[in-house]
Amino acid sequence: MASAAGSTAPPIARGAMHGVAPLRAGQGVSFVLRRLHSLTGIIPVGAFLFEHILISNATAISGPAAYAKQVAFLGGLPLVFFLELFGIWLPIAFHALYGFYIWYRGEGNVISYPWTGNWMYTAQRWTGGIAFIYIFWHTYTMRFTGIDLHANPYASFGKVQNEVFQTPLFLFYVVGLIAASWHFAYGIWLFCAKWGIVSGEVARKRFLIVCICFFFLLSGVGLASLATFRSEPLQVVEPGTAAMVHHAAPHRKPVE
Q: Which of residues 69-128 bind ligand HEM (CB under 6 A)?
A: 95-96, 99-100, 102-103, 124-125, 128
CB nearer ligand HEM, residue 41 or residue 63: 41
CB of 220 to ligand HEM, least distance (A): 17
160 makes contact with ligand HEM (CB under 6 A): no
Stretch that binds ligand HEM, among 58-66, 184-192, 206-214, 242-250 (CB under 6 A): 184-192
Q: How many CB atoms lie within 10 A of CB 185?
A: 23
In angstroms, rounded to a whole number, what is the distance separating the alpha carbons of residues 228 and 157? 10
- Exactly one of 36, 129, 141, 204 binds ligand HEM (CB under 6 A); which one? 129
In angstroms, rounded to a whole number, what is the distance separating the alpha carbons of residues 207 and 125? 21
CB nearer ligand HEM, residue 44 or residue 153: 44
Stretch that binds ligand HEM, among 67-75, 110-118, 159-167, 181-189 (CB under 6 A): 181-189
- Exactly one of 13, 45, 160, 244 binds ligand HEM (CB under 6 A); which one? 45
How far lies 205's CA from each of 41, 44, 47, 185, 219, in Å? 21, 26, 23, 14, 21
Compute, in degrees rounded to 10, the torsion defined by CA atoms 132, 135, 140, 143. -150
Q: Which of residues 225-254 bind ligand HEM (CB under 6 A)?
A: none
In angstroms, rounded to a whole number, what is the distance separating the alpha carbons of residues 156 and 235? 9
Among 74, 5, 64, smallest CA distance to 244 is for: 64
User: For 133-155, what is the HEC assignment?
Assistant: HHHHHHHHHHHCCCCCCCCCHHH
CB nearer ligand HEM, residue 159 or residue 194: 194
CB nearer ligand HEM, residue 131 or residue 149: 131
By CB neighbour count within 10 A (0-12 exposed, 13-18 middle, 19+ buried), where does 66 fall? middle
CB nearer ligand HEM, residue 205 or residue 253: 205
Q: How many CB atoms lie within 10 A of CB 132?
A: 21
Q: DSSP label at 56?
A: I
CB nearer ligand HEM, residue 104 or residue 165: 104
Q: Which of residues 195-224 bind ligand HEM (CB under 6 A)?
A: none
138 makes contact with ligand HEM (CB under 6 A): no
64 makes contact with ligand HEM (CB under 6 A): no
* Angle, in degrees to the nearest 10, between helices 28-42 and 167-194: 120
CB nearer ligand HEM, residue 106 or residue 153: 106
In angstroms, rounded to a whole number, what is the distance separating the alpha carbons of residues 234 and 161? 7
Residues that bind ligand HEM in the complex, under the rule CB under 6 A: 8, 38, 41-42, 45-46, 49, 95-96, 99-100, 102-103, 124-125, 128-129, 131-132, 180, 183-184, 187-188, 190-191, 194
